[in-house]
């Protein structure tokens, strides 16, 4: 079991498979100049599967989410998914992706054992997409979402970040589109995860702003805390249901007290939180032939020291020194 001093138990493992990404979203990374991890620093496919095996069989992890960077850029992704889905007990498996390349891989991922996907899409307008991501790939994401739905990677969840002056007027349109296509939309408050440290608390689009905008067109009925559990998103029924919309208010309504996550970076570090300022090295233990029991002990010790919360609404908050692409969303 991965328990901390506040009694929280981590059963959800986020695994970053690469720090690389084929988009350059303005709220995540600079357009150029990032120093990518060297290949020898990355965990191998076998190392990733071994660590997940330890987490599932020895530490109580029940769900594995593959992230990046962009996980579809990992050459061995399908094989990793297949091996993880074959573990006993079998964990629930999911993938967070920007959707580029999903049109080609959705069916193979489903066959390998992937249960569902989260796809990032912040706008319905190709020109705004190009401004936000610095790439002209909007249609590729739309095609990837369709392929995921057709392959049965459901529920297909769409993650959207609203940025002032760019797409802050699109919340109702995004929800109407998601309802029409059978996707579950989740808005995420912009978090301080950019490598260039350009995030400002003042002016960000808050959960309150998003809900107010949605209510100009839709009736929203809260599901409530019991239905939410440890999920990061507060959810509302749209016009009485069955469709739902979620809001992840990491900054204005932190949910740290219910956090059940542990994170493995692409270079084999354990992070207790996206915003942790310290990491615990598992790669060194792996490569020094430490037994599974020792690796599990190190992991437990790391999680025992997890902080109470991130304090994102604190003006003195210190942003992490690695971009989100190197940590895993």
Binding-site annotation: residue ranges: 14, 21, 25, 27-28, 65, 69, 96, 120, 157, 191, 256, 259, 261-263, 273
Binding residues for S-adenosyl-L-methionine: 27, 69, 120, 191
| Nearest Cα to Cα of residue 102 among 54, 56, 68 | 68
Binding residues for GTP: 14, 65, 96, 157, 261-263
Q: What angle do CA 92, 96, 101 make, to 5 degrees?
A: 115
Distance in angstroms (rounded) separating the CA atoms of residues 20 and 35? 10
Distance in angstroms (rounded) separating the CA atoms of residues 82 and 110? 9
Judge whether 49 and 83 are in contact, CB under 8 Å. yes
Query: Which residues partner with 246 through β-bridges?
Result: 186, 235
Distance in angstroms (rounded) separating the CA atoms of residues 129 and 137? 8
DSSP code string of 114-171? --EEEEE---S-HHHHHHHHSS--HHHHHHHHHHHHHHT--SPEEEE---TTTTTT-H
Q: What angle do CA 323, 327, 329 make, to 5 degrees?
A: 95
Q: Are strands 244-248 and 261-264 parallel, antiparallel or unpaired?
A: unpaired
Binding residues for [4Fe-4S] cluster: 21, 25, 28, 256, 259, 273
What is the widest separation between alpha-carbon atoms in the chain? 59
For residue 127, give Cα distances in angstroms to 6, 22, 322: 46, 17, 29
């Amino acid at each position: 079991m991965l328990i901390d001093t506040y009694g929280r138990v981590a059963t959800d493992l986020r695994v970053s498979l690469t720090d690389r990404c084929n988009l350059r979203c303005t709220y995540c990374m600079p357009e150029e100049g990032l120093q990518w991890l060297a290949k020898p620093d990355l965990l191998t496919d076998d190392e990733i599967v071994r660590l997940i095996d330890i987490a599932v069989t020895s530490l109580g992890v029940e769900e594995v989410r593959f992230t990046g960077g962009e996980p579809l850029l990992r050459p061995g992704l399908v094989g990793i998914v297949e091996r993880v889905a074959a573990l006993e007990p079998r964990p629930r498996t999911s993938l967070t992706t920007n959707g580029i390349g999903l049109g080609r891989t959705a069916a193979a991922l489903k066959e390998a054992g992937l249960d569902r996907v989260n796809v990032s899409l912040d706008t319905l307008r190709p020109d705004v997409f190009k401004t936000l991501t610095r790439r002209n790939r909007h249609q590729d994401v739309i095609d990837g979402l369709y392929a995921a739905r057709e392959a049965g990677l459901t529920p297909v969840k769409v993650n959207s970040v609203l940025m002032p002056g760019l797409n802050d007027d699109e919340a109702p349109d995004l929800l109407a589109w998601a309802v029409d296509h059978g996707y579950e939309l989740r808005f995420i408050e912009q978090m301080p995860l950019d490598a260039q440290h350009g995030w400002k608390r003042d002016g960000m689009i808050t959960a309150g702003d998003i809900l107010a905008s949605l209510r100009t067109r839709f009736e929203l009925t809260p599901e409530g805390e019991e239905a939410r559990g440890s999920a990061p998103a507060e959810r509302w029924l749209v016009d009485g249901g069955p469709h739902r919309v979620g809001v992840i208010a990491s900054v204005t309504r932190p949910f740290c007290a219910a956090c059940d996550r542990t994170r493995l970076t692409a270079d084999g570090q354990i992070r207790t939180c996206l915003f942790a300022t310290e990491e615990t090295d598992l790669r060194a233990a792996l490569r020094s032939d430490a037994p599974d029991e020792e690796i599990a002990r190190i992991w437990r010790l790391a999680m025992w020291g997890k902080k109470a919360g991130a304090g994102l609404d604190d003006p003195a908050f210190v942003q992490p020194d690695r971009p989100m692409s190197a940590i895993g969303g």
